[in-house]
Homo-oligomer: A and B are copies of this chain.
Amino acid sequence: MRDVADRAGVSLSTVSRVLRGAPGVAPQVRRRVQRAADELSYVVSRNASGLVTGRTGRVAVIVPFLQEWYFGVALAGISDALREADLDMLVYQVGEIRAREGWTRALPLRRNTDAVITVSMDLSEEECRRLDDVGVPLVLVGQCERERTSVYIDNRAGAAGATRHLLNLGHTRVAYIGSRNGSWSSGSSRHRLEGYESTMARAGLSPWSVIRAPGIEGGELAMGELLSDHDPPTAVLAEFDTIALGAHRTLRRSGVRVPTSLSLMGFDNHEAAAVLDLTTVDQAPYDTGLTAGRLTVGVLNGTTERGTQVEMPTQIILRHSTAAPRGTRGLSS
């Protein structure tokens, strides 16, 4: 900065004002400083400016795993939103660390970030409070907690819509494959199951759900169990696409044709769903990320109230894995 000041023949204060876009600088001087900075390809040190302003210009994003498709897409949205506001994105992957006592302290968040965004972390009330201790706004993605800033989808409504789609096609034996990791099931997991069950109940049908470990294997096993019933379902809704993919594999191996003999539906609109022509529920993770990023920026600027909650829409993506049951003409969907 010293160099820029010298080159432009002004003081440090003036350079600082120009680079921050602060008012009170003669237009002519402003241009001169701007040019000097460009020529030296000078960028302010966020370290130093943060030291005095207390703002770091960085937002921490906490995700459980980076490998999974959903997080990459959500991160892309967050990244784009933050760039609009000239904020940098710090990414923390807390896979196994999560289990550790006080994992929140393992991350150097304290004065190193302006805000924290958690994605699909299903935080407990206590974990939220610990993150509050960091002293910066907390934005929850994929989780809705009262009084807290969050962006989420209505998993109940999504699953209900999917169930209705199958019912409208004329199916009556509609089963559901859900997931549970040990004894713990995530919020979205519970809500999707509830959406399915309430819709079935409202149609006067009894729900039929099989809960297995998440992932492809879980889907395979669950579908195997469903097929071995003396009167198998004619339609199956999976809690998410990966489960549906596993189910699909079992169906292929068993020679059950989709959708001719059985309709299969997923949830998430995972990349691979398109490949298998799987009807599913889209939840627009990119837009969710974008919204969360903008919300964060808003909260930081004070233009958005803390505690604002945004519900993102879900949408059924019709492909060719669902159809009216054999020998029936379904109602128009």
Which bracket fits the contact residues of A? Answer: 35 or more
Contacting chain B: which of A9-17, A26-34, A48-56, A306-314?
A: A48-56
**A133-B41 in contact given A51-B48, A245-B275 (Cβ < 8 Å):** yes
Copies in the complex: 2
Q: Which of B83, B86, B271 contacts A69 (CB 8 A)?
A: B271
**A112-B66 in contact given A88-B90, A89-B90 (Cβ < 8 Å):** no
| Max count, chain B CB within 10 A of own CB: residue among A56, A92, A112 | A112
Residues 53-90 of A contacting B (Cβ, < 8 Å): 56-58, 65-69, 71-73, 75-76, 79-80, 83, 86, 88-90
Tell me if B67 and A108 are in contact (CB < 8 A).
no
Contacts of A47 in B (CB 8 A): 46-48, 50-51, 56, 111-112
In the complex, whether A205 has a CB less than 8 A from a CB of chain B is no
In the complex, whether A43 has a CB less than 8 A from a CB of chain B is yes
Tell me if A43 and B110 are in contact (CB < 8 A).
yes
Q: Which of B65, B76, B245, B275 contacts A67 (CB 8 A)?
A: B76
Q: Which of B45, B71, B275 contacts A112 (CB 8 A)?
A: B45
In the complex, whether A91 has a CB less than 8 A from a CB of chain B is yes
* Chain B residue nearest in CB terms to A78: B66
CA of A92 to CA of B112, assembled, Å: 18
In the complex, whether A116 has a CB less than 8 A from a CB of chain B is no
CA of A271 to CA of B73, assembled, Å: 15
**A111-B43 in contact given A51-B48, A90-B90, A91-B91 (Cβ < 8 Å):** yes
* Chain B residue nearest in CB terms to A58: B90
Contacts of A88 in B (CB 8 A): 90, 92, 108, 112
CB pairs A–B below 8 angstroms (28 shown): A41-B133, A43-B108, A43-B109, A43-B112, A45-B110, A46-B112, A47-B48, A47-B51, A47-B56, A47-B112, A48-B51, A51-B51, A66-B73, A67-B72, A67-B76, A69-B69, A69-B271, A72-B72, A76-B93, A88-B112, A89-B90, A90-B91, A91-B91, A216-B275, A249-B275, A271-B272, A272-B275, A275-B276
